[in-house]
Amino acid sequence: MSLPRHTIAVLGGGPGGYEAALVAAQLGADVTVVDSDGLGGACVLTDCVPSKSLIETSNAMTLLNRADGLGIATGGLATVNAARLYHRITDLARAQSRDITARLAAENIRVIRAEGRLAGPGTVTAGGEQVTADAILVATGAMPRVLPGAEPDGERILTWRQLYDLTELPRDLVVVGSGVTGAEFASAYLALGSRVTLVSSRDRVLPQEDEDAANLIEDVFRRRGMTVLSRSRAQAVRRDRDGVTVTLTDGRAVTGSHCLLTVGMVPRTGTIGCDEAGVKLDAHGFIEVDRVSRTSAPGVYAAGDCTGVLMLASVAAMQGRIAMWHTLGEAVGPLRLGHVAATIFTNPEIATVGVSQRAIAAGEVAARTLKLPLATNPRAKMAGYTDGFVKLFTSPGTGVVLGGVIVAPRASELILAVSVAIEQRLTAEQLAHTFAVYPSLSGSVTEAARKLMEFTTDGP
Ligand SMILES: Cc1cc2nc3c(=O)[nH]c(=O)nc-3n(C[C@H](O)[C@H](O)[C@H](O)COP(=O)(O)OP(=O)(O)OC[C@H]3O[C@@H](n4cnc5c(N)ncnc54)[C@H](O)[C@@H]3O)c2cc1C
């Protein structure tokens, strides 16, 4: 006699939802995914994938514009065909969403394309249907936060989700907000040829990030011609005849052709029946979860941006998978946020993993620190990269690698070596004994580890 299959309902088809659905199907469950806007979610259709595609083009522009220095004679300044660029980006995003749709279909996962909501224990309603399930995963994501007095109009006052509907490159872009999203778009549009003003309410850009990295990138921004307004809080954005005016709280006004608002995200939890289902929200509307993604309601899990845990696609996907492993009886460890590798895709990129300099400075972690400028790396010299560094943190007692920050072109790829070291509890010595290609940027990671070995034997 065969046992009945577990049934799983997933609300939301972004990385939190679809990755969970794939794991549940792999474990033999009968899975239904309810999604309103397209599989892949905001991650694939409007946020992560489109922005990273735009940034690829902007990196190509950076390279083209310094071709002269590399000994290449070009016919003049490279310019962007905005319509073609945005077309490429939206095509790419749709193609990736189609790939995910095909993948779910191949695993016999049922998809309902509709808005859904929780409707009592073990029940989700969507598109006039009731889906009952042994366990439910909520992964409804988040939306751009809107500032009162700065409502987007989709033409001149924009959220990042509206950029790809433009037909031309913003001539004079005012970016409000200097967190990760603001810094990435400001960096990209500057390289694409827009004049860019970055309005930052704090002392420096990227206030939550490694201070050395943030200072370096702000210096790069200013050197490349960006106007960075520090300690400047936007109060309102007004549309003028053919431009925008951003009014700051101190009364100053900043004008531009377009304004991009990057002032955070709000969770999509307001209309999905959390109250009725007994799913507790925090003061900001995020779903409260434990480290195996359980909510306060039995049988209801949550993953991704709607939980506000760490708004990254990789974290959303891991939270979703953990939920499924947990509910389907697999051995599972709790989510380990201390091991998450993340990148800010400015030019150069900033990649981080493990403990932070801030935690070390606050005395929360004891660590040795070593920072090696990228400019001394032979490969960097050949490529003409002057801005960047590799920074490693190791335990003073054992020499075990605790964390790292890499600022470099493709730091997102280089950080893997540090991630592996942290995950496998490698020491600086073990990392230093690892072969790196000569010449390579990753050679700076092993060189930094070598220098930390000197520290270990000679003392700080
Ligand atoms: C500009 C930008 C760039 C980013 N770049 C990166 C990056 O480089 N790397 C990275 O790791 N992360 C990046 N992120 C973060 C990443 O996009 C999110 O962390 C990720 O999308 C979260 O996935 P999710 O599944 O929680 O939600 P989402 O991707 O938002 O998906 C949620 C899905 O739920 C659906 N939904 C919502 N409500 C309902 C409902 N009631 N019924 C049915 N369906 C519903 C939506 O239609 C959507 O498809 C970026 C974010 C932004 C804003």
Ligand 1 atom closest to the Cα of residue 126 is: 42
In tens digits, what is the pLDDT along the chain, a chain of 460 residues? 566 789 999 999 999 999 999 999 999 999 999 999 999 999 999 999 999 999 999 999 999 988 888 999 887 778 999 999 999 999 999 999 999 999 999 999 999 999 999 998 999 999 999 999 999 999 999 999 999 999 999 999 999 999 999 999 999 999 999 999 999 999 999 999 999 999 999 999 999 999 999 999 999 999 999 999 999 999 999 999 889 999 999 999 999 999 999 999 999 999 999 999 999 999 999 999 999 999 999 999 999 999 999 999 999 999 999 999 999 999 999 999 999 999 999 999 999 999 999 999 999 999 999 999 999 999 999 999 999 999 999 999 999 999 999 999 999 999 999 999 999 999 999 999 999 999 999 999 999 999 999 755 444 4
In this structure, what are the phi and psi dihedrals at residue 167, rounded to the nearest 5 degrees? -105, -5
- Which distant-in-sequence residues (6+ apart) come within 8 Å of 275 by Cβ? none
Distance from the CA of 401 to the center of ligand 1, in angstroms?
A: 32
- Identify the residue whose C-alpha is closest to ligand 1 atom 21: 43
3-state secondary structure 369-390: EEEEEHHHCHHHHHHCCCCCEE
CB count, 10 Å around CB of 179? Answer: 19
Angle made by CA atoms 441, 443, 445, in degrees to the nearest 5: 95
Distance from the CA of 99 to the center of ligand 1, in angstroms?
A: 17
Contact call for residues 317 and 297 (beta carbons, < 8 A): no
- Which of 12, 19, 10, 8 has the alpha carbon at shortest distance from 306? 12
Contact call for residues 373 and 389 (beta carbons, < 8 A): yes
- Identify the residue whose C-alpha is closest to ligand 1 atom 39: 140
Residues with CB under 6 A from ligand 1: 11-17, 34-38, 41-43, 47-48, 51-52, 115-117, 139-141, 160, 181, 268, 272, 304-306, 311-314, 316, 345
Ligand 1 atom closest to the Cα of residue 345 is: 8
Ligand 1 atom closest to the Cα of residue 15 is: 25
d(CA 296, CA 35): 23
pTM: 0.96
CA 13 to chain CA centroid, nearest Å = 18
- Identify the residue whose C-alpha is closest to ligand 1 atom 19: 312
- Identify the residue whose C-alpha is closest to ligand 1 atom 52: 47
Q: Which two tokens stand for residue 204?
A: 């420096």
Q: Best of 101, 136, 312, 340 to mutate for ligand 1, by most ligand atoms within 8 A of CB?
A: 312
Q: Best of 47, 53, 101, 185 to mutate for ligand 1, by most ligand atoms within 8 A of CB?
A: 47
How large is the C-alpha radius of gyration of the chain? 24
Counting every residue, how long is the chain? 460
Q: Best of 23, 48, 318, 412 to mutate for ligand 1, by most ligand atoms within 8 A of CB?
A: 48
Distance from the CA of 15 to the center of ligand 1, in angstroms?
A: 7
Q: Report which DSSP code applies to 437.
A: -
Ligand 1 atom closest to the Cα of residue 18 is: 25
What secondary structure does DSSP assign to 48-89, as a single string? Answer: HHHHHHHHHHHHHHHHHHTTGGGT---SS-----HHHHHHHH
Tokens 């860019």 -> residue: 196
Distance from the CA of 286 to the center of ligand 1, in angstroms?
A: 14
Ligand 1 atom closest to the Cα of residue 181 is: 1
